[in-house]
Amino acid sequence: MLYDIEIDSTVAELTENKSDIRCLCYELYKLDWLKEHMITADVQKGAVMRWYKEEYQPNIKVQLNPYNGEAAREFDGMPFESWIQENGYENEGIYASFDEFLTNEYLNDYYMNEELLDNDASLIRERKKDLEVTV
């Protein structure tokens, strides 16, 4: 499933200097957004293919190692997560950025606790503690 691609790349980027509960909530929010906007696996597949053709292929550079003559490929473009944030899904737009999410959806107790965290008491406590620290 293509969701795994986005989650894996984003969690690694976001957890640098950000709370784990915020990252978890953002990933759950993105999955909910994809579901609500009917972004199917086929739509995601199309987006990945668009990214590959429009961003990846034009930004691959081949460098020759001057010492051994071997060719090394280097990607000098936007990773998929950044590209999709900028370009969105065709005809559907894109979910909020991490910072936008933190100032809107993350502050909505009902949405976060009941819709995304499924009333999981330990996760709700962790989010509440995070909100107390940041307010």
Q: Residue 77: left if φ>0, alpha if ψ -120 to 50, beta else—which one? A: beta
Contact in structure between 71 and 63 (CB atoms under 8 Å): yes
Of all residues in the chain, the percent with pLDDT exceeding 70 is 86
CA 126/CA 128 separation, integer angstroms: 5
Model pTM?
0.74
pLDDT per position as a tens digit, 45-78: 999 999 999 999 999 998 888 899 899 889 999 9
- List the domain boundaries for the chain: 3-39+78-134
